[in-house]
């Protein structure tokens, strides 16, 4: 029996990918900002309508470079406990201290009304996560950042293709990053993107991702976050199909909306002015028992949703543990249901029926 996972990467037509591979063989450049890499950067920059766009190795390094680029190399960074571990690991890896602020129970993003109380003389930045592609309270966060002179980094790992208030959701904050990992709605196998503003930021991120030097001239400490031509080729293929992929995922989400027992399920609030990318389909249940029961029933039928995101990051063994009751509760009772471009209608109906059955709603 076929296994159904939470996601399945999009594979572009092989001929399309092959034509790029032929170009790589002709040009004989594999990495270090080759022609396909540069073409992809140009295309994404224009697709997102942003000032600066850098293609990097993955979303995690993008977060680390964002902290460095904004000179956040010590002190406290206010962040959310409800995310993938990479959000907090990047802060710790850069030797900063994460300070968790609980989430808004409706949006699942950091609660802007609780941020001010967490700001101290040591606070350097706010790192919000547009979790599942739903926007943080960007205006409120910007106002706080201005008031206390803080940097704002958005982890938009899930937000590629989301538009909020008529512009890319990745065009908010001092720097936003995205992940182009194979499991993402747009992917380059492994990869990430950094969105910033101004010539100085463009220069700085360019240097940081590439050892800090140009030719024989060394400017500052850098790291290797470059991407290969193979990854760029995958990105170029997938970008052409992006609207099609989003449309297919939208149809699946609409079907879930229609047939799931919504009276027993909580979904994040879809804000006005959001054009969504349909990257994830999170569903929260009344408690952990219900969540695990649903998971068990689905697993018995070879269907594997994921506990995105569990555990709540404020409970990790290597962070200072603070109470974030809303995130703690949500993490224990949320699942992301299978969602990908060619998930069959019949499977979506089967998933919904099994969930109804598990919840006693059938």
Q: Between residues 179 and 238, which has the closer beta carbon with respect to ligand T4K?
A: 179
Residue 347 in the binding site for ligand T4K (CB under 6 A): no
* CA–CA distance, 288 with 339 (Å, rounded to integer): 22
State which of residues 163, 181, 249, 341 lies at the interface with ligand T4K (CB under 6 A).
Answer: 181
Binding mask 17-56 for ligand T4K (x = CB under 6 A): ----------------------------------------
User: With 0-12 CB in 10 A as exposed, 13-18 as middle and 19+ as buried, what is 342?
Assistant: exposed
Residue 5 in the binding site for ligand T4K (CB under 6 A): yes
Nearest distance from C-beta of residue 159 to ligand T4K, angstroms: 9
* CA–CA distance, 141 with 101 (Å, rounded to integer): 13
Whether the bond into 223 is cis, omega within 30 of 0: no
The two tokens of residue 28 are 């004989």
Nearest distance from C-beta of residue 192 to ligand T4K, angstroms: 5
State which of residues 52, 58, 123, 168 lies at the interface with ligand T4K (CB under 6 A).
Answer: 58
* CA–CA distance, 30 with 242 (Å, rounded to integer): 25
Stretch that binds ligand T4K, among 100-108, 179-187, 258-266, 289-297 (CB under 6 A): 179-187
Binding mask 209-228 for ligand T4K (x = CB under 6 A): --------------------
Nearest distance from C-beta of residue 11 to ligand T4K, angstroms: 10
* CA–CA distance, 82 with 101 (Å, rounded to integer): 10
Residue 159 in the binding site for ligand T4K (CB under 6 A): no
Place of tokens 């709540």: 312
For the segment 80-139, give every residue that binds ligand T4K (CB under 6 A).
83-84, 86-87, 129
Nearest distance from C-beta of residue 278 to ligand T4K, angstroms: 15
The two tokens of residue 339 are 């969602």
Q: Between residues 91 and 265, which has the closer beta carbon with respect to ligand T4K?
A: 91
Residue 64 in the binding site for ligand T4K (CB under 6 A): no
CA distances from 74 to 53, 70, 95, 97, 186 (A): 26, 11, 6, 7, 33
* Secondary structure (H, E, C), 219-265: CCCCCECCCCHHHHHHHHHHHHHHHHHHHHHHHHHHHHHHHCCHHHC
Size of the site for ligand T4K (CB under 6 A): 23
Residues that bind ligand T4K (CB under 6 A): 5-9, 58-60, 83-84, 86-87, 129, 155, 157, 179, 181-183, 192, 304, 306, 308
């Amino acid at each position: 029996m076929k296994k159904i996972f939470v996601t399945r990467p999009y594979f572009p037509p092989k001929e399309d990918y092959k034509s790029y591979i032929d170009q790589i063989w002709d040009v004989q450049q594999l990495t270090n900002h080759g022609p396909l890499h540069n073409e992809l950067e140009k295309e994404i920059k224009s697709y997102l309508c942003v000032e600066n766009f850098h293609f990097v190795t993955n979303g995690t390094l993008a977060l680390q470079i964002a902290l460095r680029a904004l000179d956040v190399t010590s002190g406290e960074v206010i962040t959310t406990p409800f995310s993938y571990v990479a959000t907090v690991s990047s802060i710790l890896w850069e030797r900063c201290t994460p300070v968790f602020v609980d989430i808004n129970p409706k949006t699942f993003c950091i609660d802007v009304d609780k941020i001010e109380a967490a700001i101290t003389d040591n606070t350097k930045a706010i790192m919000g996560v547009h979790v599942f592609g739903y926007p943080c309270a960007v205006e409120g966060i910007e106002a706080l950042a201005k008031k206390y002179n803080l940097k704002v980094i958005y982890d938009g790992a899930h937000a590629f293709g989301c538009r909020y208030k008529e512009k890319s959701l990745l065009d908010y904050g001092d720097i936003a990053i995205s992940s182009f990992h194979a499991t993402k709605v747009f992917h380059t196998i492994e990869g990430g993107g950094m969105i910033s503003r101004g010539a100085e930021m463009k220069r700085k991120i360019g240097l940081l991702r590439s050892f800090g030097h140009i030719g024989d001239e060394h400017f500052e400490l850098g790291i290797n976050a470059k991407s290969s031509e193979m990854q760029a080729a995958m990105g170029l293929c997938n970008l052409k199909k992006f609207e099609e992929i989003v449309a297919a995922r939208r149809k699946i989400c609409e079907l879930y909306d229609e047939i799931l027992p919504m009276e027993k399920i909580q979904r994040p609030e879809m804000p006005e002015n959001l054009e969504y990318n349909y990257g994830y389909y999170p569903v929260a249940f009344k408690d952990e028992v219900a969540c695990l029961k649903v998971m068990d029933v689905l697993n018995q039928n070879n269907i594997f949703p994921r506990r995105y995101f569990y555990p709540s990051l404020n409970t990790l063994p290597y962070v200072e543990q603070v109470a974030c009751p809303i995130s703690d509760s949500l993490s224990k009772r949320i699942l992301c249901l299978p969602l990908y471009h060619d998930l069959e209608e019949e499977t979506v109906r089967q998933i919904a029926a099994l969930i109804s059955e598990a919840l006693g709603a059938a």
